[in-house]
């Protein structure tokens, strides 16, 4: 995009492919390990043809059943504080992985008198210790958390969302097995798949984008825009899961360098005030944010149109592509099901500009712009 110096750093060892989850056995031999999971994740794990007979049920903590919140993570840390653990395995979706990432760093920090609240106030405190080795095995394909140095924590009582960002939060190994997608409920396929596509888009229209991140986001968008609409109709198709798992992985690798941008910034209020699922909340404004960014195209959207093999006029074609994805999943009506009326939505506009997200967008955004984006997205 320009001649400036750029860098790429991601230390996660990635193992990808059907049945690759069996590889975890090689890492847990003679280790004192704990598996962080959800109820659904632990059921899948214990019945799994490749892992079920190998995993000890006592080693599974299956209490991550919603978005990670401060109190529940502190509780898990307190329960583990007297155990000697040398490996943590996250087996589940983005919430499970985010929780496991925080535990892998906050458990050793607790022994030094540093709490999760201390870390939330100052992310640099993560560097005061070495994290416990972490292996992430995603069972849904959306957040890309398995390859990012970020973790999200919520305080729903205060309607607040916190982010932790530190290189200590990178997994040591991520095992991405597309077979684990088969059996995912349709609504989870929709919201996680939309998150993956949206994150790739947010990385592309991001002022931190560089040639490395951009290649990942372009490929991710190509895979996601093609596979996600088909996957919701054919959720047992392994070839589609291969594409969706790659879409999510590449999206994660892209945002690991750039972070996300305006759709995520807007989405946090939609999730904390109305309970709208994360991926749906992000996708809701995606066509309008694209329209907003296209007015400042420096060539990156022409590349996207080329990658997607769209014809001219490319701006309209691109917007239509994202609108049709949202229509396929009925995003607008799902959102309207959570929101009492348009007024309640527009009243939150002042809370939708998060520093570190909204200001990553390639165009500057004011509250008036957010209102326009919300208006376009709602009608």
Cβ-based neighbour number of residue 327 at 10 Å: 14
Residues in the chain: 379
Q: Using the structure block, give the residue that is written with the tokens 């589609």.
A: 240
Measured from the CB of residue 224, what is the shortest distance to Fe ion in angstroms? Answer: 13
Footprint on residues 192-211 left by Fe ion (CB under 5 A): 195
Q: Which is nearer to Fe ion, 181 or 279 (CB)?
A: 279
Whole-number Cα distances in Å, 257 to 207, 211, 216: 11, 11, 10
Look up tokens 């949202």; give the residue: 326
Q: How far is CA 271 from CA 71, 85, 266, 276, 368, in A?
A: 18, 34, 9, 5, 21
Q: Candidates 85-93, 154-162, 191-199, 293-301 — which segment interacts with Fe ion by CB under 5 A? A: 191-199
Shortest CB 117 distance to Fe ion, Å:
24
- Rounded to 5 degrees, φ, ψ at 89 are -120, 130
Closest to Fe ion by CB, 146 vs 195, is: 195
Tell me whether residue 246 or residue 248 sits nearer to Fe ion (CB atom). 248
**For residues 293 and 319, is the Cβ–Cβ distance under 8 A?**
no
Q: Which is nearer to Fe ion, 195 or 369 (CB)?
A: 195
Report in angstroms how near the CB of residue 278 gets to Fe ion at its nearest. Answer: 6
Q: Nearer to Fe ion by C-beta: 195 or 332?
A: 195
- Min dist CB 199 to Fe ion, Å, is 5
CB 206 within 8 A of CB 46: no
From 190-198, 227-235, 293-301, 357-365, give the range in contact with Fe ion by CB under 5 A. Answer: 190-198
- From the CB of 282, what's the least distance to Fe ion, in Å? 6
Nearer to Fe ion, 177 or 195 (CB): 195
Residue 190 touching Fe ion (CB under 5 A):
no
311-321 burial, b at 16+ Cβ within 10 Å, e below that, comes to eeebbeebbeb
Beta strands in the chain (DSSP E): 13-16, 33-37, 60-61, 87-92, 134-138, 150-155, 160-165, 173-176
- For Fe ion, which is the closer residue by CB, 87 or 254? 254
Q: How many residues line the site for Fe ion (CB under 5 A)?
A: 1
Question: Are 300 and 214 in contact, with CB atoms under 8 Å apart?
Answer: yes
> 81-84: which pairs have CB atoms within 8 A and are 24 or more residues apart?
81/107, 81/110, 81/111, 83/32, 83/34, 84/32
- State which residue has the least CB distance to Fe ion: 195
* Smallest separation, CB 318 to Fe ion (Å): 21
Smallest distance, Fe ion to C-beta of residue 260, A: 6
Judged by beta carbon, residue 80 or residue 200, the one nearer Fe ion is: 200
To Fe ion, the closest distance from the beta carbon of 324 in angstroms equals 21
- Applying CB under 5 A, the residues found at the interface with Fe ion are 195
């Amino acid at each position: 995009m320009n001649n400036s110096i750029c860098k790429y750093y991601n230390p996660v060892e990635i193992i990808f492919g059907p049945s690759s989850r069996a590889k975890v056995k090689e890492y847990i031999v003679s280790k004192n390990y704990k598996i962080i999971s959800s109820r659904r994740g632990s059921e899948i794990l214990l019945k799994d043809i490749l892992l079920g007979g190998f995993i000890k049920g006592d080693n599974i903590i299956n209490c991550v059943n919603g978005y990670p919140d401060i109190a529940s993570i502190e509780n898990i840390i307190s329960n583990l504080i007297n155990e000697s653990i040398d490996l943590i395995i996250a087996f589940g979706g983005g919430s499970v992985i985010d929780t496991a990432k925080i535990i892998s760093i906050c458990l050793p920090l607790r022994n030094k008198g540093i709490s999760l609240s201390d870390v939330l106030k100052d992310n640099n405190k993560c560097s005061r210790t070495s994290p416990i080795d972490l292996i992430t095995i995603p069972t849904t394909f959306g957040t890309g958390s398995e390859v990012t140095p970020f973790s999200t924590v919520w305080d729903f009582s205060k309607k607040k969302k916190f982010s932790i960002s530190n290189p200590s939060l990178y997994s040591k190994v991520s095992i991405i097995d597309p077979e684990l997608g088969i059996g995912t409920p349709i609504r989870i396929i929709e919201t996680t798949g939309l998150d993956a596509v949206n994150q790739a888009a947010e990385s592309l229209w991001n002022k931190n984008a560089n040639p490395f991140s951009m290649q990942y986001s372009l490929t991710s968008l190509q895979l996601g825009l093609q596979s996600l609409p088909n996957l919701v109709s054919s959720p047992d198709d392994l070839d589609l899961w291969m594409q969706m798992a790659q879409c999510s992985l590449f999206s994660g690798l892209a945002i690991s360098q750039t972070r996300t941008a305006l759709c995520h910034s807007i989405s946090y209020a939609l999730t904390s005030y109305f309970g709208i699922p994360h991926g749906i909340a992000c996708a809701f404004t995606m066509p309008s944010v694209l329209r907003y960014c296209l007015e400042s195209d420096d060539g990156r959207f022409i590349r996207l149109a080329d990658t997607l093999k769209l014809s001219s006029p490319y701006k309209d074609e691109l917007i239509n592509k994202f609108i049709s994805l949202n229509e396929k999943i009925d995003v607008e009506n799902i959102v309207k099901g959570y929101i009492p009326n348009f007024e309640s939505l527009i009243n939150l506009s002042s809370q939708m500009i998060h520093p570190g997200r909204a200001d990553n967008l390639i165009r500057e955004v004011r509250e008036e712009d957010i209102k326009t984006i919300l208006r376009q997205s709602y009608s």
